Structure 1
């Protein structure tokens, strides 16, 4: 059962992440972001991207891979407890130098440098999602955030089959 968010009476802040099952054991390594960079980090920075709800975590992966891959390739949903909410730096969207950084698109060098700086200064960064602007992502570098989070659960992800119907439906 999905734990209730704090706002609805839950007692823990959960960071959600969706990975291919073959990478589940290294969910917090930041390897993918290290190799190619991401929206809020340049290549060479081991940023770990999570969301504050599982639906946003799914959309964040689907926007890159598509629902076909989520339907046909085994994935694992990971939940990690953020033990110290005061460790989270919430980015005010108005403080982002370029509002286009919060919209879908290819990240700029300036955007990645801005994110790198945040990730080195703060244990966990909360940033609005570009996929769903009313949702939030949690981003951290494991070595910087050590002791701030703990693995809660990992389970096999199963895509709702209506999101990848047969052709012609």
Structure 2
């Protein structure tokens, strides 16, 4: 499903950041666009920055289920500051998976914004999740009967000769 991303530009609060860019909304079924101004109020300007496809995968149905069970189901918008791009930011990805959003947040390079999902999009993701999610039964792993505590290989420092205190640090040998 094509998903338009609305980005708001507001004045920065420090002298090091002149502008603050935030993804504030998504537009399901939006047409292709490239940084079209939607609204301007005083110093705040909202842009329809880009339209990207929201692709759902059956393997990620567990993640979508976790997202839908959240208090406010959300779309995760990944923004990048690309130096050679003429636009202020590039919209890299939109996803409904909180796990994928967390992966992008961990790298420290991307801006990950959590945008509330509109009602129609919640229904679309819910229907997909119900059709593709399979609950896996928990199977407890059984331990094998091998005794691993009988031999202490690789324990301690090989330079210590007596077996009684293998954790002692080696000292200088006085002659």
Larger radius of gyration: 2
Query: Which one has a larger percent strand, Structure 1 or Structure 2?
Result: 2
TM-score by length of 2: 0.25
TM-score by length of 1: 0.26
User: Of the two structures, which has the highest relative contact order with CA contacts closer than 8 Å and spacing of 6 or more?
Assistant: 1
Query: Which one has a larger percent helix, Structure 1 or Structure 2?
Result: 1
